[in-house]
Amino acid sequence: MTLYYRPIPQADPARPPEALALAGTRVWFTHVEELARGCAPRVIPAAAVPSGVLARLTAARAPIAGLALDMPRIMGILNLTPDSFSDGGKFNNPEAAMAQVRRMLDEGAHILDLGGESTRPGAQEVPVMEEVARTAPVIEAIRAAGITTPISIDTRKAAVAQAALAAGADLINDVSAFTFDPATRTVAAETRAPVCLMHAQGLPEDMQDNPDYADVLLDVYDSLETSVDCAVQAGIPRDRIIVDPGIGFGKSETHNLALIGRISVFHGLGCPILLGVSRKGSIGRIGNIPNAHERGPASAAIGLWALGQGVQLLRVHDIEVHRQMIALWSAAERGQA
Enumerate the active-site residues. 280, 315
Distance CA 104, CA 278 (A): 15
Assess contact for 202 and 209: CB atoms under 8 A: yes
First to last CA, the chain: 47
Q: Which of 1, 2, 31 is nearest to 225 (CA)?
A: 2
Q: Rounded to whole angstroms, how far apart are CA atoms 72 and 312?
A: 5
C-alpha–C-alpha distance, residues 238 and 228, integer Å: 7
The partner residues of 4 in beta bridges, in order of sequence, read 35
φ, ψ at 324 (rounded to 5°): -60, -45
Using alpha carbons, select from 257, 252, 225, 253 the residue that is nearest to residue 241.
225
